[in-house]
């Protein structure tokens, strides 16, 4: 069974750094893209970027380029989303997700449970 299990909720102060994780299991981690999606409180879904763990090929939405870093450690089947300096506007639920097939042009069929990030002074 394919599973994506995300790290727990975080409460941080503005300016702090953060790295959240998404551990994949039940499939070959290196052969499927994994993406990240933001959902701000009461708002819609925003595609942030995607990584291919096999070779760490990473693509970002222009809206998030330079604001976050997506990475993966294939030795432990885990993808990451990190910030070097959080802002209050980063408060949101963050989902990792995987396509059904090992293709770049494929919609997200498997989703993590979400990680709630709260940034407040």
Partner 1 sequence: EIVLTQSPGTLSLSPGERATLSCRASQSVSSSYLAWYLQKPGQAPRLLIYGASSRATGIPDRFSGSGSGTDFTLTISRLEPEDFAVYYCQQYGSSPRTFGQGTKVEIK
List contacts with partner 1 (CB under 8 A).
35, 37, 44-47, 49-50, 59-63, 95, 97, 100, 105-109, 111-114
In the bound state with partner 1, the residue whose beta carbon lies nearer, of 36 and 83, is: 36
CA proximity to 94, closest of 59, 72, 73, 68: 68
Q: State the minimum distance, in angstroms, from the CB of residue 10 to partner 1.
A: 18
In the bound state with partner 1, the residue whose beta carbon lies nearer, of 83 and 94, is: 94
Cβ 34 vs Cβ 96: under 8 Å: yes
Q: State the minimum distance, in angstroms, from the CB of residue 16 to partner 1.
A: 26
Q: State the minimum distance, in angstroms, from the CB of residue 51 to partner 1.
A: 13
């Amino acid at each position: 069974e394919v599973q994506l299990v995300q790290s727990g909720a975080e409460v941080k102060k503005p300016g702090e750094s953060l790295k959240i994780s998404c551990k994949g299991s039940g499939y070959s981690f290196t052969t499927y893209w994994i993406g990240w999606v933001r959902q701000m409180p009461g708002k819609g879904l925003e595609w942030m970027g995607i990584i291919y763990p096999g070779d760490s090929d990473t693509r970002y939405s222009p809206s998030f380029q330079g604001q976050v870093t997506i990475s993966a450690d294939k030795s432990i089947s885990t993808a990451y989303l990190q910030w070097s300096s959080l802002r209050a506007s980063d408060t949101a639920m963050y989902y990792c997700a995987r396509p059904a097939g090992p293709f770049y042009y494929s919609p997200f069929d498997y989703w993590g449970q979400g990680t709630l990030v709260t940034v407040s002074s």
